[in-house]
Amino acid sequence: MIMSTSDLLILIGCALGAGVGMTTLGVLIEFYLRKKVPAPLPAEQPAATPPAAQPELPSPAPAAAPAPIRSEAEAPAAGAAPGAAPAAGVAPAPPAAAPPTPAEQPAPPQPPPVAVAPPPPAAVPAPPEVVSMPPTPPPPPPAAVAPPPAEEAKPAVSRFRLGLRKTRDNFMGRLRAVIGAGAKAEEIYEGLEEALIAADVGVDATTRLVEAVRKKLKANATADAIREALKEEIAALLSSVERPAADSGEAPLVIMLVGVNGVGKTTTVAKLAAMLKQERGPVIVAAADTFRAAAIEQLEIWCQRVGADIIKQKAGSDPAAVAFDAVKAAKARGTPVVLIDTAGRLQTKVNLMEELKKIARVIGREMPGAPHETWLVLDANTGQNALSQAKIFADAVPLSGVVLAKLDSTAKGGVVVAIADRLKLPVRFVGVGEDLADLRPFDGREFAEELFAADEGGAQTGKSQAA
């Protein structure tokens, strides 16, 4: 069947009306459901200070749906009272079926509002109470503590005393063994002789010293008196041979050192150079030991450490020529001191001893009176053998003094007394160590004092009267 245009339009209008009606019905149903079921309360959030409870406002009523527009036929006549009958001859149209509006329907019963208790206010800590404190008085000053009593300053032990330790321990040990046993005077004298000979004083010197003590004390032979008398005799013997060093005037002072092999001659030259440089000024050292291997190099190293000039030639050269060059250089430069290191030689080698005489002659021609000092270097460990060395060297060149090396390493330091007694030579210096400053000028009275000084092992014995 073919549908006419009017039918088609009517169908479309019905469809549109049905759609609008369904949409309106859905909106009304949703609005009703929302009004019946209240919206959930939001979750409480903690706060430092909860806000004041606000009064609950009622939800605004939804606006009433507009009344349907009626046609002029449906509208009542103007001025007609409500409820009047319609005009005659006009049949009333049946009212259109319209859905009841929300305003016309009775409101559903609402559930009573649930009273939500407000959260308790958070406890706000009370501000700390400020209490004014009185000012703290300053602490009292500490009481003055008396310092501990200062110990008596102990005198520094001299290097000379340390160098004589072995000799002193040996000598005083023997002497204490006799004196401390309450021996008679004769026994003390016998023990005194043994102690002196063991210290390498020598038999002749020991006999003369003990006899001098006997004559001096006679009947007053106490232990302390014997010790003091012996000390005075040794000091007097050493002082009797002392004499001042030579004076060269305006010319350089020329000192020649001689001795056998191995006594410490080269080291003694270096120590002397260091000492004389401080006392008199620049020093020239002549390396006249041209025989020993590496002797020139060894002396050159020492001179570099000391700061002294060295005059040298190649190994095997004439030692007299080296000494001559050194004296000539000192005169030209105005150097106040010349030290001549000679080769070590045994006192039994006649040709080597003649070489010493040649050196003395050559430098004497260049500078009259030179060498002004000729010192024999002895090893204190050799003891009485040093006397035979000194005698042979004294026959070759005139000796004016002795330098006793290595005194700190021996117990035979009594050879100093033997040298003074037999050779009548003064001991100029003693070596008491390996450092440059360990060469000490010798003093006979100091030697005697240190030889009898109280040792660390015990005090000196008290006075005891011999029976």
Sole residue written with tokens 């240190």: 450
**pLDDT, greater one: 249 or 350:** 249
**pLDDT, greater one: 118 or 98:** 118
Tokens of 439: 């060469």
Classify 349 as helix, strand or coil. Answer: coil
Over 70: is that where the pLDDT of 270 sits? yes
Over 70: is that where the pLDDT of 455 sits? no
Cis before 371 (ω within 30): yes
What is the structure's pLDDT at 6?
A: 83
Sole residue written with tokens 């949703």: 30
Over 50: is that where the pLDDT of 315 sits? yes
Alpha carbon distance 327, 286 (integer Å): 8
**pLDDT, greater one: 286 or 64:** 286
Determine the average pLDDT of the residues in 227-251.
91
Determine the average pLDDT of the residues in 100-123.
50
Residue 280 is classified by DSSP as: H
**pLDDT, greater one: 255 or 387:** 255
What sign has the CA pseudo-torsion 346, 348, 351, 354?
positive
Over 70: is that where the pLDDT of 343 sits? yes
H or E segment at 421? helix 415-422
Alpha carbon distance 26, 23 (integer Å): 5
- The answer for residues whose C-beta is within 8 angstroms of residue 330's C-beta and 6 or more apart is 252, 254, 284, 337, 338
The rounded radius of gyration (Å) of the Cα atoms in the chain is 66
At 119, the pLDDT band (50, 70, 90 cuts) reads: low
Classify 357 as helix, strand or coil. Answer: helix
Determine the average pLDDT of the residues in 406-418.
89
H or E segment at 7? helix 5-36
% of the chain with per-residue pLDDT over 90: 36
Exposed, middle or buried by CB within 10 Å (0-12, 13-18, 19+), for 269? buried
Alpha carbon distance 137, 144 (integer Å): 20
Over 80: is that where the pLDDT of 133 sits? no
Classify 415 as helix, strand or coil. Answer: helix
Classify 268 as helix, strand or coil. Answer: helix
Could you give the strand order of the β-sheet that contains 283-288, starting from the edge strand earlier in sequence?
Answer: 309-311, 283-288, 337-342, 253-258, 373-379, 401-405, 427-431, 439-441
Alpha carbon distance 203, 193 (integer Å): 9
CA atoms within 13 A on the CB side of 424: 1
Residue 105 is classified by DSSP as: S
Looking at 202-338, list the stretches that DSSP marks H as alpha helix, in order from N- to C-terminal side: 203-217, 223-240, 265-280, 295-306, 319-333
H or E segment at 176? helix 165-179
Q: What angle do CA 41, 43, 45 make, to 5 degrees?
A: 135
Alpha carbon distance 349, 356 (integer Å): 11
**pLDDT, greater one: 191 or 338:** 338
Over 60: is that where the pLDDT of 365 sits? yes
**pLDDT, greater one: 104 or 8:** 8
Sole residue written with tokens 């003390």: 188
* 101 contacts 63 by C-beta, under 8 angstroms: no
Over 70: is that where the pLDDT of 174 sits? yes
Over 60: is that where the pLDDT of 79 sits? no
Determine the average pLDDT of the residues in 269-276.
96
Determine the average pLDDT of the residues in 435-444.
92
**pLDDT, greater one: 59 or 404:** 404
What is the structure's pLDDT at 227?
A: 86
Max mean pLDDT range (80-94, 167-181, 276-290, 373-387): 276-290
Least confident range of 38-47, 78-87, 310-319: 78-87
Closest CA to 287 of 328, 233, 338, 253: 338
pTM value > 0.85:
no
Alpha carbon distance 51, 71 (integer Å): 57
Residue count (the chain): 467
% of the chain with per-residue pLDDT over 70: 68
